[in-house]
A and B are shown apart, each in its own frame.
Chain A
Amino acid sequence: MRFVFKRSYDADIKLFKHRPQALWYLALFIFVLALPWLVDEFFLGEATNVLIWAIAGMGLMLLVGHAGQASLGHAAFMAVGCYTNIIMIERGVPFLISFPLSGIIAGFVGVLVALPVLRLHGIYLAIATLAVSVLSDDFIVILEPWTGGVTGLVAPNIDIFGLEIDRYGTPVEFYFLTLLVTLAVLVGYRNLLRAPLGRAFTALRDSEISAQAMGVNIRRTKAIAFGISCGVTGLAGGLLGYYATAFNNETFNLVLSIQLLLMIVIGGLGSIHGAFFGAIVIGFLPQFIAITRDGISGVLGLGSVTIPGIESGVFAVILISFILFEPLGIYGRWIKIRTYFELFPFYRKNMFKRQKSFLKTERMR
């Protein structure tokens, strides 16, 4: 059993709750720093992929998990980040400017898109943002002179003061670049959550009416949530462009939007951890499915058969199982396991009996 004694208000303000926790994160940090020397190039590429998912996941988590606003359109903002970055690069803007700027542009586009739909809630908001995802495809095709239309664009090597970074040529550098962006987003996100704005987001999620009665400007706070969320997702989009090396209107389709949402639900809504857990699942699932498939056909002597649609099928099964059996996601399960050991032997089964209802509609009185 562990007791945490708090001796000052800073105990609740600090980034880490207590020393053991800080040590765990330090160990994790050292692990991710050492990863390039621990695994081969293929796996490092997969780890980079997971980090990109995690960045996008953090972006969406802020909006859905913390501010309580649904979005089925986030692939569109990944597209904005990706395309604006490469378009600027092609016109001679250095990466160190174009990359952050592409995030900011994606954020502004997010605010613009959000403004007309701010009054919508839950499923209606989801449908409106779904439309954004569908429309983005057409927009990319229409804007052919810049976006290359259906042919798409090819991402050139990243150039930071002469340091060339290329996903295949220099996977280690690309991994560290992605890691750096991940950490920057992570720290900013954590900071927001312990500051007034982060609390305003969760207030919005839990009760708009009393958030308002506490002086939270609903429209503005929602717009800011959309802006930050889309901006961060745009950064992930920029990195995804380099990761995929070539992309077109199909890269950022509706399926990607849905996968993003699945990721944070599976990971656990309402926590940054959830974005990372979800990213690990989504990032490794295709490999996992491929390996199991090969294993099964190997055992049955079927040769290498491919079953079309198997990936989406497995996704669907996983998602439905999570919603039915673990609505708090992987992070929720983790908390339960941890609490079990921390409180051993005093854990009670109904300790976590509190329902989560993020997409509830507005109530009055």
Chain B
Amino acid sequence: MSLLTLENVTLKFGGLVAVNNVSFHVGEGEVFSLVGPNGAGKSTVFNLISRFYDPFEGDIRFQGDSILKMRSDQVPSLGIARTFQNIELFEQSTVLQNLLVGRHRHRKSNLVSEIFFAPSVRDEERRHRAVVEEVIDFLELQAFRDKYIAGLPYGVRKVVELARALATEPKILLLDEPASGLSVEETQDMIFWVEDIKKQMGITVLMVEHDMSLVAAASDRVLALADGKELAIGTAAEVQSHPAVIEAYLGTGGRASDE
């Protein structure tokens, strides 16, 4: 069954067509990757799904319903969580506090009960914490729980961002270049995690990634974009060997295998 569907989506920034008539669907339980050279429009697709931009044309549907009427802060409540290419964490907060913000969509308390810290708020806090602790265990972040983000190395921040997205208990996880800037070992961990997220947690993953080892190892299907247009769709191997994809990468001076 299709969880997330993009239908003929187009977005222009002034004269630049960043996303050009793109259609694809992500099936439930699938790991779907977007690849393409720099400036292909991959992050823009994420920002469209997050409702940071209104598409010029087309429709975006989640579980069959259009999300174009929603504000960007309502999107997470559907069960759509994401990470950012350039890490957007809450720098002046601890790892724990960052993950707890991920619980915001499950907030049931109101202003008054929180000012008095009513027993219901306390119970909620314990439940949120329990979920967050599971995520911390899963991603092995125990040592960093009470550390401030501003003092953490890059690789750990990447994992914290993934953790925060998981703490929202999403149905679909949007990962924007989860392995960029990671060491070989860290990338290896990321491959395992993405597999576990799919298999054990049953969360659908839509991922933008340049590292073909991760794409090939983790993805069920891959869509290649260039200059906002779809080039090819299929398994990682099919897409990598597709003439249009090779051409697009050569055209921008990179290679499909190591970009």
* Chain A contacts to B: CB under 8 angstroms: 9-10, 12-13, 188, 191-192, 194-200, 202-203, 205-207, 209-218, 224, 228, 270, 353-358, 363-365
Q: Which of A9, A213, A218 has the most CB of B within 10 A?
A: A213
- Closest chain A CB from B4 CB (angstroms): 16
Closest 9 pairs between A and B when the two form their complex, measured CB to CB: A354-B150, A195-B114, A215-B76, A215-B105, A206-B90, A210-B88, A191-B117, A9-B129, A196-B107
Residues of A within 8 Å of B199, CB to CB, are: none
Q: How far is the CB of A219 from chain B (nearest CB, A)?
A: 9
Chain A residues near B102 (CB-CB < 8 A): 214
CA distance A216 to B102 in the complex (A): 10
Segment of B25-33, B93-101, B216-224, B239-247 in the binding face: B93-101
Q: Which residues of A contact B86 (CB under 8 A)?
A: 365
* CB <8 Å contact, A202 and B130: no
Within 8 A of A (CB), among B96-150: 96-97, 100-105, 107, 109, 111, 114-117, 121-122, 124-126, 128-130, 133, 148, 150
Task: Specify which chain B residues have a CB less than 8 angstroms from the CB of A198 in the assembled complex.
Answer: 114
Closest B residue to A14 by beta carbon equals B122
Which residues of chain B come closer than 8 Å to A365, judged between CB atoms? 43, 47, 84-86
How close is A89's CB to chain B, nearest CB, in angstroms?
26
Given contacts A191-B116, A214-B101, contact A206 B89 (CB under 8 A): yes
**Which residues of chain B are within 8 angstroms of A356 by Cβ–Cβ distance?**
92
Determine how close the nearest CB of chain A comes to the CB of B169; give it in whole angstroms: 12
A211 touches B114 (CB 8 A): no
User: Cα distance A199–B125 when bound, in Å?
Assistant: 12
Is A213 touching B104 in the complex (CB atoms < 8 A)?
no
B104 and A214 form a contact (CB under 8 A)? yes
Tell me, in angstroms, the Cα distance from A191 to B125 when the chains sit together. Answer: 12
Set of chain A residues within 8 Å of B104, measured between Cβ atoms: 196, 199-200, 203, 214-216
Which residues does chain B contribute within 8 Å of A217, judged by CB atoms?
71, 73
Known: A188-B116, A215-B105, A216-B104. 5 other contacts (CB 8 A): A196-B107, A199-B93, A205-B92, A213-B72, A217-B71
- Which residues of B line the A interface, CB within 8 A? 43, 47, 50, 52, 71-77, 81-82, 84-86, 88-93, 96-97, 100-105, 107, 109, 111, 114-117, 121-122, 124-126, 128-130, 133, 148, 150-151, 164, 168
Q: Is A218 touching B73 in the complex (CB atoms < 8 A)?
A: yes
Given A194-B125, A196-B103, A214 and B76 contact (CB-CB distance below 8 Å): yes
Contact of A214 among B47, B114, B164 (CB under 8 A): B164
Taking a contact as CB atoms closer than 8 A, the residue among A13, A203, A218, A270 that contacts B101 in the complex is A203
Inter-chain contact B89/A210, CB cutoff 8 Å: yes
Q: In the bound complex, do residue A216 and residue B148 qualify as a contact, i.e. CB atoms below 8 Å apart?
A: no
Q: How many A-B residue pairs have CB under 8 A?
A: 128
In the docked arrangement, what's the CA distance between A177 and B132, Å? 41
Expressed in whole angstroms, the minimum distance between the Cβ of A82 and any Cβ of chain B is: 23
B115 lies within 8 A of A191 (CB): yes
CB neighbours of B88 from chain A (8 A): 207, 209-210, 213, 363
| Centre residue among A10, A215, A365 by max chain B CB count within 10 A | A215
**B52–A364 CB distance below 8 A:** yes
Chain B residues positioned under 8 Å from A218 (CB to CB): 73
Expressed in whole angstroms, the Cα–Cα distance for A218 and B50 within the complex equals: 14
Q: A12-B129, A213-B50 are in contact. Are A197 and B114 (CB under 8 A)?
A: yes
With a cutoff of 8 Å between Cβ atoms, the chain A residues found around residue B81 in the complex are 213
Which A residue's beta carbon lies closest to that of B113?
Answer: A195
A13 touches B126 (CB 8 A): yes
- State the CA gap A228–B111 with chains docked (Å): 10
